[in-house]
Each structure stands twice: as C-alpha cells, then as structure tokens.
Amino acid sequence: SLQAGCPVFSDRHLCTLLSLYVLCALCSLLTAAHGLTDEQKEFQKVAFDFAANEMAPHMAEWDQKEIFPVETMRKAAQLGFGGIYVQPDVGGSGLSRLDTSVIFEALSTGCVSTTAYISIHNMCAWMIDTFGNNEQREKFCPDLCSMEKFASYCLTEPGSGSDAASLLTSAQRKGDHYILNGSKAFISGGGDTDVYVVMCRTGSKGPKGISCVVVEKGTPGLSFGKKEQKVGWNSQPTRAVIFEDCAVPVTNRLGEEGQGFSIAMKGLNGGRINIASCSLGAAHACVQLARDHLLVRKQFGETLSNNQFLQFKLAEMATKLVASRLLVREAATALQENRSDAVSLCSMAKLFATDECFNICNQALQMHGGYGYLKDYAVQQFVRDIRVHQILEGTNEVMRMIISRNLLTES
C-alpha cells in the first residue's frame, strides 16, 4: 500500500505517479481520447509518454529546488511542442488549437508548472508569427520553436493588473528606436528568458494608445527584479521586468502603433484555452491518484473504495473533469474557426475548467487524508500548481466580466 511504502520504488512520489500511468491505460473514460482523430490520438500518446518519462519523475525536484528545466523543454521542442500552433515555414508544428489543448492536457499530467510555462512560450511565438512581418517571423520564430530561445509575455504592471489597458510603461519614439521606461510585474520566465513581448504605451490613454514590441535580453536598460517566492509554479521563475531608457529598434514593433492591446488580447484567447488545458491535466492526474489511493487505503476494515460517500465524490470529480474538457475543446474549436462566440467561449472555458479542476484536485488531496498534505505525494503539488490558473491570464472575475459584457451587448 502507499501508506506502507511502495515495494518497488523507495520514492513514494515517483511511485504514485508511475502507478498513475498504469491506471491511465485502464480507465478509458479519463484517457481523453474520445472524439479525437487518429493523428490527434497519436500525438496525445507522444505527449503522455513524454510527461510520464521526462517530466513526472522530476516534477517534485523541480518544484522543491526551483529548477527551470531548460533541457527537458528543448526535448519537448524536438517533438514539436515549442511552437505547436506556429506556422511550419518558421519552424512551427502548424497544429490547431484543439490539438494544442490535447497536448497541454497530456503534458500537464507530468508537470503543470513546466507545461504552463511552455504554453506561455507558445503564446508568444504565435503572437510573433501572426502579427510580425516576414523579417520578424524569420528572425525570432525558428529559435523559439526549437526552444533554443525562450519567450516571456509582458502585460501586467505593478499598478495595472485586471485593468490591463491602464498600463503605463512608456515607449517614446526617438529616430528609429523606442525608448522604454517603466516596469512589468509577475513575468513568467522573467530574467531567464531571451525574448520579451512587451505591451507599452506609444500613444494616449486607454487601449488604443498601446503598442507591442519585442525586447531582446541584453538590450541596455533592460533589467530584472528578484525571483518571486511562490506557492506553486516553482519550476519557472517569476520576476519583475524593468525598463530604464531601454532603446528598442522600431523594427521590433509587432503590427501597427496602437494595435498592441488587441494583439495582447488575441494572444490571451488562446492562452486561456492553454491554461485551462493545463488544469485539465492536473485534474486528470488527480482523479487517477485519488482512485488509486481509494483502492489501496484501508480504514474501518475495508478499502476506502467501498465507502459510498467517497465513491460518489469520485464520480462527481470525473464528471466535472469530462464536462470541463468538453467546454475547453469546444472553445478551442471556436477559436480555430474564428467564430463570433470564440472570445466568450475561451473565457467560459478558462473560468469553468480552472475553478472545477482546482476543486477536483483539492478533493483528491482530501481523499488522501494526511498523506495528501505531505510533499512525498504528488497530489499536493497539483493543487499548489493550478491554484494560480484562477488568477492569471485574466482572473476568473475578469472572465465573468467578459462573458457578461458580450451577452449584454449582443444584438
């Protein structure tokens, strides 16, 4: 039993995760392959295998030692996961948003924090691919797709979070450069990454005065704050990004002046599906871990799996997982097809899946009793890692604002 220690592996964390992958094969409802094409099933399997072999054995160590697993991510990039929905002519995989969701869900079963960073990196690469000119695409995208270089998305500032359009970082044009001044807060990968996709103010107040520029590491005037100490997401650094008279070539601007806020929001529509997919992966893993624990843990003379209260709880968890997945995949399809309801659906998917999947993981921890609270058991890390999905890429309150605004203004 898990309580007594695993007879095969001394590391209980590894043991629980390995048993997870054995059970994955058993429980078809949770393997999440229904309705997928043969090709999608194929790369889903590749992603599950990568999660099991290259990520899960290290996820606790990456968390506890705060390791940014650069080489593992580069291996993921060799499988095409560095630019999943970037076009193939600049090194991307050219896959759809649904394909991307399937991949991120599978990868997250092995490490949510690392997968979530890969998802932000993918979002940045897509923004350059989509809104950049050919010169910019050819300059940045190949190295991002191979993860030779890593990217960060810089929107939030100390004084502008949910009200992102109020950002103050200024970019004053001087000849063929913009001179950036200001700072960005909470930047994922900040300090360790090479390419910063920065939203800054080139014009007047409000969203129309915002532009998007790419700032390369090493540019004079670019510096970083201290590494933040976080509850989860510890395999990726989070730092402030600071600009002090930082001169960036005008040729690094994506799109037109004033288009930056729209570019940032378009990036986030996909980002929200990706983050929701990472929550699906965590919930997917935690349902399996809870099932495993109920089947082996004995109390009151029988296994916990014989207790009807816990059976019903497990059934609710699985139901909410499948419902969340259906909504995420519907939103991914809507975004791919550029449907008019895509923005609302992306927000609904992010709101619903990140809330429900957090509850699923938290319930799985509860089912583990005291063991769930020990760092030897993976379930606590899934809970810590996905808590932030309710906060970032637009808080879940902001998701409600977007959904209701669209409903109330629809003709």
SS3 assignment for the chain: CCCCCCCCCCCHHHHHHHHHHHHHHHCHHHCCCCCCCHHHHHHHHHHHHHHHHHHHHHHHHHHHCCCCCHHHHHHHHHCCCCCCCCCHHHCCCCCCHHHHHHHHHHHHCCCHHHHHHHHHHHHHHHHHHHHCCHHHHHHHHHHHHCCCCCEEEECCECCECCCHHHCCCEEEEECCEEEEEEEEEEEECCCCCCEEEEEEECCCCCHHHEEEEEEECCCCCEEECCCCCCCCCCCCCEEEEEEEEEEEEHHHEECCCCCHHHHHHHHHHHHHHHHHHHHHHHHHHHHHHHHHHHHHCEECCEEHHHCHHHHHHHHHHHHHHHHHHHHHHHHHHHHHCCCCCHHHHHHHHHHHHHHHHHHHHHHHHHHCHHHHHCCCCCHHHHHHHHHHHHCCCCCHHHHHHHHHHHHHHCC
Identity of the residue, 181 or 366, whose beta carbon is nearer to ligand FAD in the bound complex: 181
Identity of the residue, 233 or 371, whose beta carbon is nearer to ligand FAD in the bound complex: 233
| Cα 317 → chain centroid | 21
Q: Rounded to the nearest whole angstrom, what is the least distance from the CB of residue 311 to ligand FAD in the complex?
A: 35
Q: Give catalytic status of residue 393 as yes or no.
A: yes
Q: How many residues of this chain interact with ligand FAD, rule: CB under 6 A?
A: 20
Q: Provide the mask over 204-233, with x wherever binding to ligand FAD is found by CB under 6 A and - wherever it is not.
A: --------------------------x--x
Identity of the residue, 15 or 154, whose beta carbon is nearer to ligand FAD in the bound complex: 154
Task: Find the residue with minimal CB distance to ligand FAD.
Answer: 161
Return the residues of window 134-173 that contact ligand FAD according to CB under 6 A: 152-156, 161-162
**Residue of the chain from 138, 256, 337, 397 that contacts ligand FAD (CB under 6 A):** 397
Span from 141-149, 181-189, 205-213, 267-275 in contact with ligand FAD (CB under 6 A): 181-189
**Residue of the chain from 120, 147, 167, 286 that contacts ligand FAD (CB under 6 A):** 120
Task: Exactly one of 54, 157, 356, 393 is catalytic; name it.
Answer: 393
Span from 75-83, 91-99, 210-218, 394-402 in contact with ligand FAD (CB under 6 A): 394-402
252 interacts with ligand FAD by CB under 6 A: no
Q: Rounded to the nearest whole angstrom, what is the least distance from the CB of residue 231 to ligand FAD in the complex?
A: 9
Identity of the residue, 237 or 281, whose beta carbon is nearer to ligand FAD in the bound complex: 237
187 interacts with ligand FAD by CB under 6 A: yes
186 interacts with ligand FAD by CB under 6 A: yes
Q: Rounded to the nearest whole angstrom, what is the least distance from the CB of residue 184 to ligand FAD in the complex?
A: 6
**Residue of the chain from 19, 93, 183, 188 that contacts ligand FAD (CB under 6 A):** 188
**Which residues in this chain contact ligand FAD in the complex, by CB under 6 A?**
120, 152-156, 161-162, 186-188, 230, 233, 238, 388, 391-392, 395, 397-398
- Active site (catalytic) residues: 393
